[in-house]
Amino acid sequence: MENTITEVLYLISIVIFIIGLKGLSHPESARKGNLTAGAGMGLAILVALFAPIAGGDNNYQWIVGAMMVGSIIGLIAAKRVALTSMPEMVSLFNGLGGATAMIIGFVEFYNLSAGQEMMSATVLTNLFALVVGAVSFSGSLIAWGKLNGSLRDSLKLPLPHVINILTLVAIIGFSAYIMMQPTLPFNLVILLTALSLFYGIAFVTPIGGGDMPVVISLLNSFTGIGAAGAGLIYANHVMIIGGILVGASGTILTVLMCKAMNRSLLNVIIGGLGSKGSGAGSDREQVIKEANSGDLAIQLKYASKVSIVPGYGLAVAQAQHVCHELEHTLEAEGVEVKYAIHPVAGRMPGHMNVLLAEADVSYDKLQELEQANEDFNSTDVVLVIGANDVVNPAAKEDSSSPIYGMPILDVEQAKKVVVLKRSMRSGYAGIENPLFFGENTNMLFGDAKESLNKLKEEVKNA
């Protein structure tokens, strides 16, 4: 009877989790979906805590103690993290999920009974959770280091793709060899764990910073698959289904982001966007035309339609609230204001959506790439705030560019383009942007928050 109640409660938590995941498919319902999924996971944790274990000891003092420590750390981290550091935090938390699957697989090998048949589903499942979890853990840590800038240039491996292939072959070979043994060779399990951790490092290291959103999504899918493997070890339906959902959604998101960049996943992994030079460059005359905030304010005030392209620089300047205030100021003057969102803008999937949601920007004002590109022809002024690679014409003009073929926001189609930047430094992909030298482009240098504040006041007084 107790087992039946447990399974029913697990089923309820799974349904709640799926409903929450469905809510994440749209920005307007994302917050509610996140809370719903959290409630489902909370129910699953409670059920797992109090579910009967045949002949087992729950060790509640250790479990509750670990949960309290983890909850306190997670709460403090989530409260203090800035939106500019959100991608690093997502990558770090994702890595901890992979570490959990790795530890479960390792501990289950340590506790494996002496008479266990090695050529079995149990051993295969342990190996799967161990390897995938270790790759996700170490790979996510490298992604975290790349995102915060500490590992962008400091960690390089010679012949990275050769090392990747050899390491992967060694992992498969050791796994097969372990299963062919009459008894468990625990020393080889330790070596396999080390190889898997190294593979995660070698796998992510050569991938350039411009591809980090795709890598985060891919590693997230790895963590989900690893969690599903850990669920198989314990025959826990919530872990299995939850892991499958996370793995599947992460894989789908990875494919969609690759499509948005017009590149295959293999090209992302091998190409290393952002780790190389800028290609042949542009044949445009490199003349910079600086904008005057007073003149720009008049142009904005008397424009019919204005489009804002947010980028990582907007998050760095913490200017999303001021940008929203400028939007209100322009709308009070009868100007139509929209936000053009590129799928891979920022440092993680949906980064700009989260940034603008924090400032209470209406979801109706957000335009996806295709819709925004259709509207640029009828747009009077485009404000590009901190974005670089997602508006770079080199993606269409320079076949030697690392981003060649990637769909971009065609801001040059508008009558006027103003780029707000601190300097002429290249974007995260490390390549020059010919847009800055365009005939209808002006540069407004300075801190984005200060520039937008000044524009807002001058629009009011114009």
> Which are the catalytic amino acids?
389
Give the pairing type, strands 441-445 and 416-421: parallel
DSSP string for 103-143: HHHHHHHHT--TT--SSSHHHHHHHHHHHHHHHHHHHHHHH
Task: Return the structure tokens found at 191.
Answer: 């070596």
Cα–Cα distance for residue pair 53/6, rounded to 1 Å: 11
- C-beta neighbour count of 54 within 10 angstroms: 5
Short-list 248, 223, 194, 205, CA closest to 99: 223
Cα–Cα distance for residue pair 242/225, rounded to 1 Å: 9
Report the first-to-last Cα separation within the chain, whole angstroms: 75
Q: What value, to the nearest 5°, has the Cα angle with vertex 339 and ends 335 and 345?
A: 160
Cα–Cα distance for residue pair 338/367, rounded to 1 Å: 7
DSSP string for 285-348: -----BPPHHHHHHHHHT-SEEEEEE-HHHHHTT-HHHHHHHHHHHHHTT-EEEEE--TT-SSS
Residue 313: φ, ψ to 5°: -60, -30
3-class state of residue 258 by DSSP? helix
